[in-house]
C-alpha cells in the first residue's frame, strides 16, 4: 500500500524554522532515523520510506503555500495514490501551541494552503493533521506571527511534539484515519 504524506511549508532559508513550516519540520523529523533523504523533483522535495510494509511518499511542496494543491494533485496522480491514502500536515492558528488534531474533512480555516487544496482537489474531504501554533499575536500581526520563528519555550517542546506527530502518521498508515482519531486526538495540550 502506498501513502502520500505532505508537509506544507514555504521553500527558502527565510522560512526555515518558522511556524508556517511545521509540515516540513515534521517530515524532516520522520526521515531522521531512516537512510532516506529528500531529492528535488517536480513540484517539491520528495523521498520514499517504508513503514510496516507500507510505502510512504513524503512530499515538501516547492510551490509555496498558496499553490500547494498543484504539488499534491501532481504526486497523487504520479504515484496513483487515492485521496483516502493522502495526509496533509499543516500549521493551525485556531489550536493552542502543541495541540495536534487529525481530521478527515473540514474548512480551510483561513489557511491559504488548505484553501488551494480544496480548490484543486474539488473537495474538503481529505485527511489533515493540524499542528497548533497558537495565536499569541497582536491585532494586525498575524502574518508576522505565522512566518515568525519559534520562541525559546516552544522550541524546547518541539522534539516531543514532532515525535507525537510521527506517531499520528504511523498510526494513520497502519490503522487508518478513524481509529487514529479515536486513539490520538486527545493529547497532552487538551488536558
Catalytic site residues? 20
CA–CA separation, 103 and 100 (whole Å): 10
Question: Residue 66: CB partners within 8 Å, gap ≥ 6?
Answer: 112, 113, 116
C-alpha cell at 62: 516547492
Asked whether the beta carbons of 44 and 27 are under 8 A apart, the reply is no
Amino acid at each position: 500500500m502506498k501513502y502520500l504524506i505532505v508537509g506544507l511549508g514555504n521553500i527558502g532559508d527565510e522560512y526555515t524554522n518558522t511556524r508556517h513550516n511545521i509540515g516540513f519540520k515534521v517530515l524532516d523529523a520522520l526521515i531522521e532515523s531512516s537512510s532516506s533523504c529528500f531529492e528535488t523533483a517536480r513540484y517539491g522535495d520528495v523521498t520514499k520510506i517504508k513503514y510496516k510494509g507500507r510505502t510512504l511518499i513524503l512530499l515538501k511542496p516547492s510551490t509555496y503555500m498558496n499553490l500547494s494543491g498543484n504539488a499534491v494533485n501532481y504526486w497523487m496522480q504520479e504515484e496513483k495514490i487515492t485521496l483516502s491514502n493522502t495526509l496533509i500536515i499543516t500549521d493551525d492558528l485556531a489550536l493552542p501551541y502543541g495541540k495536534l488534531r487529525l481530521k478527515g474533512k473540514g474548512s480551510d480555516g483561513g489557511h491559504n494552503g488548505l484553501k488551494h487544496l480544496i480548490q484543486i482537489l474539488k473537495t474538503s474531504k481529505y485527511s489533515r493533521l493540524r499542528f497548533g501554533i497558537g495565536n499569541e499575536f497582536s491585532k494586525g500581526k498575524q502574518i508576522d506571527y505565522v512566518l515568525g520563528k519559534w520562541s525559546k519555550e516552544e522550541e524546547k517542546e518541539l522534539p516531543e511534539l514532532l515525535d507525537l506527530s510521527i506517531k499520528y502518521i504511523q498510526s494513520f498508515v497502519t490503522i487508518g484515519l478513524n481509529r487514529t482519531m479515536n486513539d490520538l486526538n486527545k493529547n497532552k495540550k487538551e488536558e
